[in-house]
Amino acid sequence: MRMGYGLHMEQTQKLIMTPELRQAITVLQLSSLELGMYIEQQLQENPLLELNDDEGHEIDASESQERAEGVDAPEQGGEYDLDWQEYFQDSSDLGFPRAEKDPDHSEYTYENFLSQAPTMSDHLMFQLGLSRCRKRERIIGEYLIGNIDGNGYLQTTVEDAARQLGVTVEEVERVLSVIQTFDPVGVGARNLEECLLIQADQMGINDNLVLQIIKNHLLDLAKGKIARMAQALGVTVQEVQRAADLIKTLDPKPGRNFSSPNDTRYIVPDIVLQKVDGEYVILINDTSVPRITINPTYRSVLNQERNSDTKTRRFVESKLNAAAWLLRSIEQRRLTLYKVASCLVELQRDFLDRGVKYLKPLNLKKVADMVGLHESTVSRATSNKYIQTPQGVLEMKYFFSSGLVNSSGSATSAESIKKMIRETVAAEDPRNPLNDQKIVEMLKRKGIIISRRTVAKYRDELGIAPIRKRKRY
């Protein structure tokens, strides 16, 4: 075999991920709120971008033509990229409709502000300030409140708190007993048993059977072993059932009703569906996205003579190209969302009109074939985005549901089957609840062929307890 050096010319095809394509993919998979933050970042990095506060000064077709003609084009074979000329000659609105400036409309209203609910720590600190505690006890109380988690449980021991603060264990115990009288009832407990006992004491529950179950049989109660508890306590199952019902009215996590700084307070839908005269109108919700345009003052740099600074001109042109690509990416995102939403409305019309029972099985490939896009593009367009429908605000991925083939040969979606299972369990006799096999037989009579294991999986996903825990005596 002969080895050596040589020059060969070869033609190959390969996909190159350009920065512009990468940006378009990034913009497509962003939600409205994330897109707003992304645009804010681009405004800081690109000096040619600016907020379009006054829509009356948008670049219209005639003005853009004048700007394109007013710029001296470099000689043929020059070294400048001229994508910006194509942008100025494009008369499309890039997704930003023209609207008259309303002088009476204030930029900010009270609807733009969100009230902040007090956290559990703030609530407890407020009550500590109202309590009759000395300064030393107040310091201990603040330390203990700072060690209470979001569920209302104390995450440190009294011995560790006493050692950290340099006080006695008795002082910490005394302050902790004061905190345990605060609202919400049960806060400051060190375990579930203590939490429930505090609530029972403050609610005046003096039932000896209830207290015995809390102290010795919480695990059996969680597993629904009513008969075993009745045998161990020497009472009837009806008495244990009554005590268990009373215990279930207590809150095992007293602090969960308070807000957290990391809570998601609201969802801004990316798409809004409105039914007008029997037809669905699709609105792309971009009200939270800042309106941006290209700063016209940088035109003077491009209007300078050819002997101007080459680096400056190249910098301005590169930023101008980046700004134009960003605007095009935003417009492409809007058009893609509209196409996908139109397809979903067409395929899931029965669900939108009549509810979750009529949700049809759907996959990405079917939607991609209908709109003429790749499956990955449809996946990016629907990820992390929400749509407001007559059935509520739903994640767009909710429309893509797996399903099972029924006896008639058509398919039934998994969400529709879950709805049937929930309704079947809700209508059962509590004294004789249905097991998974009976649910399978009931669904089979409706034409749905499903296995017992699948019913058990759907029941767990719905949070429905097994038959042992649902049985009433």
pLDDT number for residue 246 = 92
User: For 411-461, what is each residue's pLDDT tens digit?
Assistant: 788 888 898 999 999 999 888 899 999 999 998 888 888 889 999 999 998
- At 275, give phi and psi (nearest 5°): -90, 115
Judged against a pLDDT cut of 60, whether residue 204 lies above it is answered with yes
Lowest-pLDDT choice from 135-139, 356-360, 451-455:
356-360
H or E element, residue 271: strand 271-276
Mean of the pLDDT values across residues 171-182?
A: 93
Calculate the dihedral angle through the C-alpha atoms of 156, 160, 162, 168, rounding to the nearest 10 degrees.
110
Cross-strand bridge partners of residue 49: 294
Compute the average pLDDT of residues 395-415: 80
Q: Among all chains, which residue has been given the structure tokens 């971008």?
A: 49
**pLDDT reading at 173 higher than 50:** yes
> Mean pLDDT, to the nearest integer, of 278-307?
78
Contacts of 355 (CB under 8 A, 6+ apart): 391, 419
Q: What confidence category does residue 64 fall into, taking pLDDT thresholds of 50, 70 and 90?
A: very low
32-36, 99-103, 126-130, 353-357, range with greatest mean pLDDT: 126-130
Give the pLDDT of residue 262.
58
Instruction: Return the structure tokens found at 468.
Output: 């042992």
**CA angle centred on 9, ends 6 and 12, rounded to 5°:** 130
If DSSP codes are grouped into helix, strand and coil, which group holds residue 276? Answer: strand
Angle at 445 between CA 444 and CA 446, to 5 degrees: 85
Q: Is residue 267 within 8 Å of 388, Cβ to Cβ?
A: no
Determine if the peptide bond prior to 184 is cis (ω within 30°): yes
d(CA 338, CA 345): 10
Mean pLDDT of 300-305: 65
pLDDT score for 292: 87
Q: What is the pLDDT of residue 293?
A: 85
pLDDT of 162 reads 93
pTM passes above 0.75: no
CATH 1.10.10.60 boundaries in the chain = 403-470
Return the higher-pLDDT residue of 58 and 145: 145
- 403-470 is a CATH 1.10.10.60 domain: yes
Which of 263, 261, 123 has the alpha carbon at shortest distance from 183?
123
